[in-house]
Chains A and B, each alone.
Chain A
Amino acid sequence: MEWHPLLLSLQVASIATAITAVAGVLTAWLLASKRFPGRELLDVIITTPMVLPPTVLGYYVLVAIGRRSAIGGLYESLTGSSLVFTRTGAVIAAAIGAFPLVVKAARAALEAVDPMLVAAARTLGAGPARAFFTVRLPLAMGGIVAGIMLGFARSLGDFGVTLMIAGDIPGETQTASLAIYDAIQANRERDALGMIAVLSVTAIAILYVVNKLGAGDQHVR
């Protein structure tokens, strides 16, 4: 079995998940707590990657972070390296797939916490930040962790956007999903089977834990 693509997938998915966990929960808090013009439009834009074809999404990302874009150009001038066709590109691709899952789950979990409990914390002298970190966030944690785990599973298996942004460079950007595709294309099915088994078992295990977390949520209204 080829271990390198699997380890690379794990590394890329872990970094992408860490980024989306922080950014996703912050965005979910914003959507769940603040009223501002365009709030629902922002929610739609964040959700769009879940339904767009990976090639279309990949194209948009290429336009946004490619070498000729403002972001891509700035990154290259600062680091000397391009964002596309690199491991960083693979992380961005994985994060884009995971982000809406984290935001959706975290927003639903935060909105499900009884507002009366947050009001109770405020009347007991807690400022908005303390009420959030000691009451709302812990009570929403089951749903948030479930969303982060789904995001990790999604990152681990990304194919289309990774191919568009990071390419399929063995040893550099060839994640497990891409290596499986290459192996099947080249009639090296035996090379692919081990990775298929690991990705399948990981996905099933994650979904099982996510279901368990959902069943444990008894503190929501």
Chain B
Amino acid sequence: MSAELTADITVRAAHAEHPFSLEVSLVARPGVTILFGPSGSGKSTTLAAIAGLVRPDAGRVALGGDVWFDAERGVDHPVHERGLAFVFQSHALFPHMTAEQNAAYGIDRAVAKEERTKRARAMLERMRVAHLASRKPRTFSGGEAQRVALARAFARSPKVVLLDEPFSALDRELRHELCADVKATVAELGIPAILVTHHRHDARTMGDRIVVLREGRVAARSDDVAAHLPVLAEDEG
């Protein structure tokens, strides 16, 4: 089993048009932790701060004994050294690379090229998009693109996977299908995953635990996901 991810994060954006402050503390054990909340509650900022894409003003982020960020001790490992994978809402596939090249991009370059290609293909297969291997992203549908993005994230055998509303642009049926595939892959890898969502269905079916954010603060946390799902205005079910 992998280590658990602990994050105590403070982010202040005083100079922004709408002043915002985020103070979040969470623990993500192996399995899926749902980060739930309305738009603007700080879910994506929390994820970006854990990844190292946003520098927190204070706090600490660690995976087990491996400290990624510690404001007091001046530790701040760059994002590429954290061994994580991040799946964006807009999939962020590299448009000039094929699906296979995309999937192989994050695999450790110390691994031989043939082996990297093999692993990339295996993960595309697992995400049910092996038939797209030699094609470039501009020809993919939304669902296909997100499957390739997920294959790219998992192919590098990450220590943590961070999913920033990866299913929200997809229709309901596709979303439900992808939720099941991601849940199974995370369980198989035995790693912590944090899924940002405001869809109750995604939270209920995927979550092993939930952290609810409201206006930059933790409003609730529980291992009983269904019981702690607040109803949000923008939820589509």
Q: Which residues of A approach B to under 8 Å, CB–CB?
A: 114, 116-117, 119-127, 131, 134-135, 138-139, 218-219
Contacts and interface: CB of A to CB of B under 8 A. Distances in A.
A221 B93 CA distance: 13
A41 B197 CA distance: 44
Cβ-closest 3 pairs across A and B: A124-B106, A123-B86, A120-B92
Contacts of B121: none
* Most chain A beta-carbon neighbours within 10 Å: one of B83, B88, B108, B152: B88
B28 to A, nearest CB: 16
A17 to B, nearest CB: 25
B79 interface: yes
Given A122-B80, A123-B79, A123-B84, A117 B53 contact: no
A125 B88 contact: no
Interface of B: 51, 53, 78-80, 83-86, 88, 90, 92-96, 105-106, 108, 138, 152-153, 156, 162
A120 B156 contact: no
22 contacts: A117-B94, A117-B95, A119-B79, A119-B88, A119-B92, A121-B94, A121-B105, A122-B79, A123-B51, A123-B53, A123-B86, A123-B162, A124-B105, A124-B153, A124-B156, A125-B83, A125-B106, A125-B156, A126-B105, A134-B105, A138-B96, A219-B96
B156 A116 contact: no
A95 B88 CA distance: 42
Contacts of A124: 80, 85, 105-106, 152-153, 156
Nearest to A124: B106
Contacts of A126: 80, 105-106
Nearest to A141: B96
A134 B94 CA distance: 10
Contacts of B95: 117, 139, 218-219
A114 B108 CA distance: 24
Contacts of A134: 105
B78 to A, nearest CB: 7
A14 to B, nearest CB: 28
Given A126-B80, A127-B78, A120 B86 contact: yes
A139 to B, nearest CB: 6
A135 B138 CA distance: 16
B77 to A, nearest CB: 12
Contacts of B108: 125
B94 A125 contact: no
Contacts of A121: 94, 105
B80 A116 contact: no
A221 B156 CA distance: 27
Contacts of A139: 95-96
A126 B156 CA distance: 12
* Most chain B beta-carbon neighbours within 10 Å: one of A121, A123, A131: A123
A114 B105 CA distance: 18
